[in-house]
Amino acid sequence: MLPDRFTTMLVATVILACVLPATGAGSRIAADLTTLAVSLLFFLHGSRLSREAIFAAIKHWRLHTMVLCSTFVLFPILGILLRPVLSFLVGPELYVGIMYLCILPSTVQSSIAMVSIARGNVPAAVCSASASTLLGIFLTPLLAGMLLVANGNAAPRSGGGSAIISILLQLFLPFLCGQMLRPIIGAWVKRHSHITKAADQGSILLVVYTAFSAAVVEGLWHQVDWQQLLGLVAANGLLLGAVLCITKWSSKFLGFDKEDEITIMFCGSKKSLASGVPMANILFSPASVGAILLPIMIFHQMQLMICAAIARRYAMRRDD
């Protein structure tokens, strides 16, 4: 029942961010290191994955449909259906933030890292998570206009070109470079799988530290009282638990194998803080951005902690 070493490191990282958050030049250094770690992760995955596996993953349309439906359909439906419970737990203002969380795209780096740790379908995870992020640039503002404008907080506007460029430069370019160098370094990377594992786990730890540091610096512990904070943790836990269970059971029901089930669970249950922060600055009034982002800040940490434990359990399974 004791936590594994990686989960312990995650908890220690959160505590470190609370006690010694990265500020000023330190925050910029941490952000640069995170970008470097994520780019290295995609480079290593690009050098490991065969082109045949990537093309097969792209053709896996049933899996990608499941992930996208979980991200952009299941989450909003749950947010609407559970409104009486969620509003009671967090209040009306933070409920808008929860609904904003529900329409965000999936993460890329942590989804792929978790799938890799759990020994899931990594090529399919790369395709699904990347497609979710790209589609989210357009779908999130659209859903915000449909679901949140009634609250008087949303002001959808066009944009997203810079986000697409950032995704291409940080994720796809290193992946393509890894693919190009695969004939030269692919065998060496496969023999030294501990390097990819270190990149997987290291990128998650850096994301946790930088994200939680930013939340602490912005006054995370002063925006809400402890009752609302506990209610927000419970509300996020309810959403995350429901989506994890639904994606797991539906994957089994539809006949997906264990590797695809892992990919659907982890890619379909994640929400991107990296996409959520810049989009919130466009979609919402400045006075409401703090409360809007608080749910995704906490959800981001919870999904990493809980999914890391689940990924470790999957990783210890015996192959038949």
- Indicate the angle between helix axes 122-147 and 61-69, nearest 10 degrees: 40
Query: What is the mean pLDDT of the segment spanning 296-320?
Result: 83
Confidence of residue 1 (pLDDT cuts 50, 70, 90): very low
Looking at residue 229, its amino acid is L
Region at 222 (left for phi over 0; alpha for psi -120 to 50; beta for the rest): alpha
Kindly state the average pLDDT of the residues 148-174. 58
User: pLDDT (tens digit, 9 = 90+) per residue, 165-206?
Assistant: 665 677 678 878 988 898 888 888 878 777 777 877 787 788
Q: Tokens 């050098």 identify what position?
A: 47
7 — pLDDT class (breaks 50, 70, 90)? low
3-state SS, residue 107:
coil
Q: Give residue 210's pLDDT.
A: 80
Whether the predicted pLDDT of 2 surpasses 60: no
Q: What is the pLDDT, as a whole number, of residue 156? A: 45
Of 76 and 166, the one with more pLDDT = 76
0.85 exceeded by pTM? no
Question: Which of 109-118, 130-139, 248-257 shows the lowest mean pLDDT across its residues?
Answer: 130-139
Does position 217 have pLDDT exceeding 90, yes or no?
Answer: no
> How many C-beta neighbours within 10 Å does residue 288 have?
19
Q: Which residues contact 292 (CB under 8 A, 6 or more apart)?
A: 96, 97, 100, 153, 280, 284
Q: Mention every residue, 6+ apart, whose C-beta is less than 8 A from residue 263.
A: 63, 67, 115, 120, 121, 122, 124, 125, 128
Residue with tokens 């692919």: 186
Lowest-pLDDT range of 133-142, 152-161, 170-179, 194-203: 152-161
pLDDT at 249: 95
Name which of 84-98, 202-216, 279-293, 303-317 the model is least confident about: 279-293
Provide the pLDDT for residue 133: 76
8-state DSSP, 286: G
- Lowest average pLDDT, out of 130-139, 254-263, 267-276, goes to 130-139
pLDDT averaged over the chain?
81
Predicted confidence at residue 81, as pLDDT, reads: 94
Task: Give me 68's structure tokens.
Answer: 């996208």
- pLDDT for residue 155 is more than 70: no
Which range has highest mean pLDDT (12-21, 76-85, 114-123)? Answer: 76-85
Average pLDDT over residues 44-59: 70
Q: Is pLDDT of 70 > 90?
A: yes
Q: How far is CA 193 from the centre of its chain?
A: 23
Token pair 């981001």 is found at 300
Residue 17: burial class (beta carbons within 10 Å; 0-12, 13-18, 19+): buried
- Helix axes 109-117 and 25-48, enclosed angle (nearest 10): 50
| Cα 60 to Cα 54, 76, 269, distances in angstroms | 10, 24, 19
Provide the pLDDT for residue 158.
43
Largest CA distance in the chain: 58
User: What pLDDT does residue 254 have?
Assistant: 92
pLDDT category of residue 52 using cuts at 50, 70 and 90: low
> Could you count the other beta carbons within 10 Å of the beta carbon of residue 16?
16
Q: DSSP 3-state assignment of 284?
A: strand
Helix, strand or coil, per DSSP, at residue 260: helix
Supply the pLDDT for residue 157: 46
